């Protein structure tokens, strides 16, 4: 009796096995060798209100050829495909008409947008990515000054694989630096919806020697480019976002210091005249890197010099962003508890008239191996 039951169970298990065949999810499978994987995407405007999409696909064969073992006769480490269409999604679709492999944009690392697109407003050009998860949400975005050709059409001189150079350029643990603002797709998109905070995107241009150069930061009002910050001014943004560790500051006394830590305290209130009042206290800890000045500066003189440099620079950044009503520091979020939700959309206008009190307190932790 027990033997019969056991045999029945084994039969049932065998019957269940064919179900496993269904678990492969055949509908959405496409073998890796049948895909062409884009890693960089460029968007620029074209005639008749269209856009031109640039897709850069690394060519895997080249790696073998470079190693000296492969037999690839193909030149270059990447394929660049351009396509005009009314929308980005349509351009991606039309790109497929030119390629024998399936276009895969799920691994795009960087989206480059030209300034004309940024000035028109980025919302319609990035919407496809959010709605259909076509590209990862953490894809980096940068605004390019000038044409995309010198950036996307040339090989990397520093040896990175075809797609990674721009990504590595901004990545904190690789080539990133506090002066190079880093912005992901979700940063930009979420701030388009948030009236209390404006987006920032790094601004880059082509460079003959190294292919790419950081030339500052673009700030947005809504989804439109409202102005730019220089790399030095971008440091204030990094300072406020507590992403300044490792940054170097040169004071007027030719003292170079390296910031090792910083804290930010924001205190907000609304004045009797209805103007927002924002008190910002920054505490910086730094070490001395270089003192080319022959005069011997005291510890407090160096600290004072750093405070003055940063306060002066911050003043200029606040003036620029306030003029455009672009609260790139997210001060508005601190007012969420003080304003009614229906008043949030007034924030860009309120920010223009906000009184910002910015103070830096710095502390020289050490002077290196020399006193």
Partner 1 sequence: MAEPRVTLNLLQHSALQINFIGGMAFFLYPDLVIHSTDEMYWLPIVAGASIGIFGSWLYSKMMSSNPGKDLFEISIGVVGRGWTMVLLFPLVLFMFNSIALMARSHAEMVNMTMLPTTPQWFLNGLLIIPLWSALGGITSIVRTITVLLFIALPFAMAINLLGLVDLEFSLGSPWFKLSADFIRSPEFYASSYVWVGFIYCSVIGKYASDPKHLWKSYGLAVLCFLPMALEAVLLPVLTFGPEFTRTLTFPYIMKMDSIDIYWLPVENLTAIYVSVTMIFVVGTVAMMYFCVARGIHRLFPRFSEKIILWICGGITYSVALLFPSWLWVRRGVFWDTPLRLFLAIGLPVIYIALIWWKKRKER
> What is the contact surface with partner 1 in residues (CB under 8 A)?
19, 22, 25, 27-28, 130, 132-133, 136-138, 171-173, 184, 186, 189-197, 266, 330, 333-334, 336-337, 341, 344
Place of tokens 């030209």: 114
Smaller CB distance to partner 1: residue 65 or 270? 270
Smaller CB distance to partner 1: residue 240 or 255? 240
Smaller CB distance to partner 1: residue 71 or 337? 337
CB of 268 to partner 1, least distance (A): 9
CB of 12 to partner 1, least distance (A): 10
Smaller CB distance to partner 1: residue 70 or 121? 121
d(CA 315, CA 332): 18
Question: How does DSSP classify residue 292?
Answer: -
Outline where DSSP puts E strands in the chain.
Answer: 35-37, 40-45, 51-58, 78-85, 102-104, 110-114, 140-144, 200-207, 211-221, 224-229, 248-250, 255-270, 276-291, 355-366
Residue 322 CA: distances (Å) to CA of 221, 312, 344: 11, 15, 16
CB of 129 to partner 1, least distance (A): 10
CB of 183 to partner 1, least distance (A): 11
Smaller CB distance to partner 1: residue 52 or 197? 197
Smaller CB distance to partner 1: residue 137 or 319? 137
Q: Is 180 left (phi over 0), alpha (psi -120 to 50) or beta?
A: beta
d(CA 163, CA 368): 38
Token pair recorded at residue 128? 């496809």
CB of 111 to partner 1, least distance (A): 14
Q: Are 114 and 44 in contact (CB under 8 A)?
A: yes
CB of 10 to partner 1, least distance (A): 16
CB of 341 to partner 1, least distance (A): 4
d(CA 101, CA 201): 33
Residue 131 CA: distances (Å) to CA of 107, 191, 192: 16, 16, 15
Smaller CB distance to partner 1: residue 22 or 97? 22
């Amino acid at each position: 009796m027990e033997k019969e039951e056991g045999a029945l169970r084994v039969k049932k298990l065998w019957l269940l096995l064919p179900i496993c065949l269904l678990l492969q999810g055949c509908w959405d499978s496409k073998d890796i060798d049948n895909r062409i994987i884009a890693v960089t995407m460029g968007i620029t405007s074209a005639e008749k209100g269209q856009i031109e999409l640039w897709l850069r696909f690394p060519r895997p064969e080249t790696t073998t050829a470079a190693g000296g073992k492969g037999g690839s006769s193909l030149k270059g480490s990447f394929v660049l495909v351009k396509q005009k269409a009314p929308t980005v999604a349509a351009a991606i679709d039309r790109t497929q008409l030119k390629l024998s492999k399936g276009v895969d944009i799920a691994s795009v690392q960087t989206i480059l947008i030209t300034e004309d697109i940024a000035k028109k407003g980025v919302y319609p050009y990035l919407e496809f990515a959010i709605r259909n998860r076509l590209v990862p949400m953490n894809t980096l975005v940068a605004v390019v000054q000038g044409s995309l050709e010198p950036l996307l059409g040339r090989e990397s001189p520093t040896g990175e694989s075809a797609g990674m150079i721009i990504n590595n350029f901004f990545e904190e643990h690789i080539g990133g630096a506090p002066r190079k603002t880093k912005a992901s797709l979700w940063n930009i998109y979420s701030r388009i919806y948030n009236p209390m905070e404006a987006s920032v995107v790094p601004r880059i241009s082509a460079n003959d020697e190294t292919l790419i150069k950081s030339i500052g930061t673009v700030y947005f009002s809504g989804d439109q480019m409202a102005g730019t910050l220089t790399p030095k001014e971008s440091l204030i943004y990094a300072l406020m976002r507590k992403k300044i560790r490792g940054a170097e500051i040169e004071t007027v006394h030719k003292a170079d210091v390296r910031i090792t830590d910083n804290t930010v305290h924001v205190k907000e209130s609304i004045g009797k005249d209805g103007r927002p009042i924002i008190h910002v206290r920054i505490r910086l800890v730094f070490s001395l890197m270089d003192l080319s000045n022959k005069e011997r500066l005291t510890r407090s003189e160096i600290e004072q010099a750093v405070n003055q440099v940063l306060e002066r620079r911050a003043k200029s950044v606040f003036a620029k962003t306030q003029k455009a009503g672009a609260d790139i520091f997210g001060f508005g979020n601190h007012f969420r508890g003080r304003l009614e939700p229906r008043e949030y959309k007034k924030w860009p206008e309120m920010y223009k008239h906000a009184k910002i009190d910015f103070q830096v307190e710095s502390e020289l932790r050490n002077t290196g191996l020399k006193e």
